[in-house]
Structure 1
């Protein structure tokens, strides 16, 4: 057996053991499956992982048996999501499989100093970093006062969906609130299709449904819209009407974290953003 063949064999066995260990740690309830009274397998069954990943049971069984089979990055991506792998575990999975991750860095738990400086330098243009779940991960001075006083909002509540449906200051600042909420919910549904089993997504959905009848009514329509920018109208309580061009700039492959900016669409809006920046606190 050649050295290359030996390394490939070792990788397959390591991959098989890693998948088995990740599968056995997940309770059925974590991925929306019933436990049942006759379950003896720790964690999930192989057929359940196959079902969640939309792959054949035999194929997934062979994968855990370290068979020499072809594994596409797309299938690995589905398996990683079904097993609720974090970013380190996901990177390990693709490394063992010798495959390139089609969606690396899909989460952005830490904003690097360079990114923080970049959004700060964009002032007085409102800018923030959001993930695909609409969590606001970082923002500059002007964005912090654009729709509400974000500094006064608890970090765990800094989510555009949650604020747009529950925060009165935020809601009163949006001129076309009904349309914005409808489109945002449709975008959220489209993004969630790739995260259906992930606890953070399910928890946010449950929270929105529990606190907002408006969201429940819109969510029941099953509308789906892709990401995109448009001109938006706001009415800031400190500086008045604003007409701003909304733009998304992805920091990596879609649909990962993105830089969201609101560029003034006319001279009046630019001047008002400069006033808002002057009114905003110097530090966040």
Structure 2
């Protein structure tokens, strides 16, 4: 007797593959590459556009027993340029529906999702109002090791800063960087006190980080912006980056962040 859940996972994988293969790299805004053996986008290219692990996406397309969150499905729907009927079909195949009373985040325009790849080799990514990384390029993964979770969830800069052990090695000035980030999260919760996604993020950070539990009651606030950041590379060298943030036109909660080595003073 066939397993209905296994058949549904296979159907989901086949649907994802068919939609991936119909999008050309040019349509996705990707830079030209050499000769390609497969039609459409490669799996790793789609994973980058959707801001997720290429390995985890591969498992999903292969029909393995993994479960995608609503955020992951929204990211895939945006990267694959799915229309409303196709998006609904994707959610049904994945056994997901938006939670009652919760407004899903604004989808990322595929043209915006492709911008970080165009900025390679400079680290660049697009984040939303909960510090989820909606799109990023390979240089970002090199600069922030461990940013992409193995469980298929979207990367999140706040989770990485406080819950990923490697962050304390990479961020040379971890404590002031972490305090500033938490102050910006506090500012966002004040502006959107009923946002369930922000509430879940804060709960996760407080549960997993003693620093968040100690600093959260201080009510420090800070606005988003650019600046400078010192990062330790895998070879141990310390590089000072200047980073600049740009709000996405029409989607003010989405922000493009670009890093470049800072000129010597």
TM-score normalised according to structure 2 size = 0.57
Is 1:189 aligned to residue 186 of structure 2?
yes
Partner of 1:274: none
Is 1:162 aligned to residue 159 of structure 2?
yes
Question: How big is the shift at 1:148?
Answer: 0.7
The answer to whether the 8 Å contact 1:157/1:163 transfers is: no
Q: 1:219 aligns with which of 216, 222, 229?
A: 216
> Are the structure 2 counterparts of residues 232 and 209 from structure 1 closer, same or farther at C-alpha, using a change threshold of 3 Å?
same
Distance 2:152 2:189 in 1: 22
Is 1:234 aligned to residue 231 of structure 2?
yes
Moved beyond 4 Å, runs of 4+ = none
Greater helix share, structure number: 1
Question: How big is the shift at 1:253?
Answer: 5.8
Partner of 1:261: 258
* Consecutive unaligned residues in structure 2, runs of 5 or more: 1-99
The answer to whether the 8 Å contact 2:229/2:241 transfers is: yes
Partner of 1:34: none
Equivalence map 1:68-83=2 (5 Å):
none
Equivalence map 1:117-196=2 (5 Å):
117-151=114-148, 153-156=150-153, 158-196=155-193
Question: How big is the shift at 1:195?
Answer: 1.8
User: Secondary structure of the equivalent of 2:185?
Assistant: helix
The answer to whether the 8 Å contact 1:162/1:208 transfers is: yes
TM-score normalised according to structure 1 size = 0.53
* Consecutive unaligned residues in structure 1, runs of 5 or more: 1-82, 88-106, 268-284
Distance 1:153 1:192 in 2: 27
Q: Deviations over 1:243-279 (max 9, x none)?
A: 1111110003675100011121138xxxxxxxxxxxx
Question: How big is the shift at 1:149?
Answer: 3.8
More displaced, 191-200 or 249-258?
249-258
The answer to whether the 8 Å contact 2:184/2:223 transfers is: yes
The answer to whether the 8 Å contact 2:134/2:154 transfers is: no
> Are the structure 2 counterparts of residues 184 and 238 from structure 1 closer, same or farther at C-alpha, using a change threshold of 3 Å?
same
Alignment size in residue pairs: 165
User: Secondary structure of the equivalent of 1:220?
Assistant: helix
Equivalence map 1:14-93=2 (5 Å):
86=103
State the superposition RMSD in angstroms. 2.2
